[in-house]
Structure 1
């Protein structure tokens, strides 16, 4: 059976509260770069689907594709980002990630300029720039998030793996929770292009800050092949991918779901998800080293399944907001719980690659969910997407139960 994370530090004196605070601050110093990456992702999240569908006149399925296409680039570049982190260093990956995210903001600004009537250009030209922005942002996400996670783990020690991954997730969904309503405000006041401007500024400032931080020495040793890493991490990644469908359906289609029912507050629904997600991470992150990754993932996926069930049956915006909070609360520890189990399957010099491959499964999920759920919506209506999410989350729960039983049998 996999050794709980807390046992990795056996024989060491217990940490004092002062040391815990100092370690937390160090972790936040690295995961803040993940926050910037996902702020760039979150800013257009609530307005991009209606912008593509309602203003540019493309279908709901195409709007989902525009959201999801980012994850093609992310998935394809994950192994490369892991390789860069393991061989050139996590700092290099973060620097490249910040630069790519800034470039995505420039392309987003260009897409807005091309879409204005005074230029009299084809809407497909603007759409091309928009898709290019999403693809570049996907590469930036891969480099920035993988690099910052490995940088944090290497800096504070592998006994804090669960905490680093946990705070990385807080940065991820906290940035989305902040970015979604902020994007709505910016777009309403200064137009769609203002999102690109803010993305450029924030990412360039973060690049300068990352350049000033001390790099962590690269761990040398014989590396496992990509196929070997994939084989060890794939079951955990599949469970993560299916468990993430609840979030990706919510993030991609909640705006159109609210609009179809003539409700207000879709961005706040995403905020409810993010706030509940962060609260669960802060309150229960220590459950992973205490109880192990698989038991925590089982409980979390059970809660998430309840959230998606309630979302499917929601008949008021308040019920939908509560359902989003339940979904966020449940999904909160799935990534770090399964991630801790996954990275322990490979040696230290391959952990960047393992993180890249593991996270890549969620990228595949996010990409496929957009067009798949869009097609389901076209056939059965917006609520049916949440039934689809419920089925996927329950399937993830089944995989984790099998993985836990397998580990217990080995022990």
Structure 2
């Protein structure tokens, strides 16, 4: 009797293994997007109300107002690398939920705040929640994304952040007109709880193979110099968020009600349309172009001191800021070890937070000493410096393959 021999089973190719790993780690993108949106809708609601609230209730000086707004970035910057590392270790859902809890506690602090010290503590809690929630969510999503689509996935998921920051001031304005500051702070408290419910309803993915943390686990190789460039370009957005409304108000320029909305529209359109272009252009060139556009918008704000110039400069700045994030994701994640990509994302966004925090302090001080226009001139110069550092990084790492080229080769070899 002849025994039929089974054909040998071929071992999976590296491309097949990578595709199977991505399928196993695929994230519930819609629910995570909505959870992150709720967190940033909460944070964005504070941007419209907090400057005048702090100035009127606590009689704070402009530099104090800017510091209170910007200090949330300190806690976010500290928490992000730890959140990314937790995702690398296989705990994304728990980390998202923890971030939502921090955010809700921060909202309660805004609602209660009898003095500046309590308000600062609430800002720190809200920043910690925002940093933990978003970093763990985007790191979870990036784990299941193809390399050749990295920038567009990051850019479109990042719209949860900027959509919340953009819609938050509008929501705060409506709530303030309805019930005053207390309604705004109640929403700031409840929105992170909605994000927590969305995160709890998700299923934790299979844990990745264990990796030794190593001395660079929280600051992965390849994230430091690009992170510095990202920090410098974040200063411009920090100036927009901390002193723009005060500038338009105190200089009697007008446009204060529309300025943040104009920034948001320009940002969201550019991010949605431009993110796929970053994958085709490459991370470093796209980042340099975006930083140059941001600098041009900030200079228009500084030099064209009427309502038309203010709104035009705000729109151009928003268009430049829109593509900084997907471009830098393409640069940093493409140069980080597989087991440290979550931490690399956390470090990258921490540099952004640090830039906003520093901007909060320095922009207010510069505005008080030299005038508001000089805050925007300084921001434009730092954006140019960030672009220059990125070009130097490109030259120093010319031998390293860009993520798009290597990824497209892998994609072609992968089974359809």
Q: How much has 1:222 moved relative to structure 2?
A: 2.5
1:72-111 superposed matches below 5 A:
72-111=74-113
Deviation string 1:269-300 (CA, Å, 9 cap, x unpaired) is 11211111111111121112212101111111
2:228 counterpart of 1:238? yes
Matched ranges for 1:237-316 at <5 A: 237-316=227-306
* Unmatched 5+ stretches in structure 1: 1-7, 14-23, 115-125
3-state DSSP of counterpart to 1:305: helix
State the secondary structure of the residue aligned to 2:98: helix
Map 1:16-165 onto structure 2 (within 5 A): 27-111=29-113, 114=114, 126-165=115-154
C-alpha separation in 2, matches of 1:209 and 1:317? 41
Gaps of 5+ in 2: 1-13, 20-25, 402-416
Distance 1:32 1:157, change over 3 A: farther
Corresponding residue for residue 362 of structure 1: 352
Taking the aligned partners of 2:106 and 2:131, their CA distance within structure 1 comes to: 13
CA contact (8 A) 2:31 2:199 kept: no
- Report which stretch shifted further, 337-346 or 247-256: 337-346
Matched, 1:182 2:171: yes
On the 8 A contact 1:79/1:356 being kept in 2, the answer is yes
**1:31–1:164: 8 Å Cα contact kept in structure 2?**
no
Distance 2:260 2:341 in 1: 31
Matches for 1:217-236 after TM superposition, within 5 Å: 217-227=206-216, 229-236=219-226
Count of equivalent residues: 381
Q: 1:288, 1:60 → 2: CA distance?
A: 38
Q: TM-score, normalised by structure 2?
A: 0.86
1:382 matched residue in structure 2: 372
Residue aligned with 2:223, SS: helix
Larger Rg: 2
Structure-2 separation of matches of 1:226 and 1:364: 22
- How many Å apart are 1:337 and its aligned residue? 0.7
Q: Distance in 1 between matches of 2:315 and 2:15?
A: 34
Identify if the C-alpha distance between structure 1 residues 345 and 410 changes in structure 2 by more than 3 Å, giving closer, same or farther: closer
**1:43 aligned counterpart, secondary structure:** helix
Offset at 1:129?
2.1
Asked if 1:352 corresponds to 2:342, the answer is yes
| TM-score w.r.t. length of structure 1 | 0.87
- CA change 1:332–1:372 in 2 (3 A) is same
Instruction: Measure the CA separation in 2 of the matches of 1:102 and 1:349.
Output: 31
CA drift at 1:51: 1.9
Q: What RMSD in Å do the two structures reach over aligned CA positions?
A: 2.4
Cα offset, 1:10, TM superposition: 11
Residues 34, 198 of structure 2: 8 Å contact kept: no
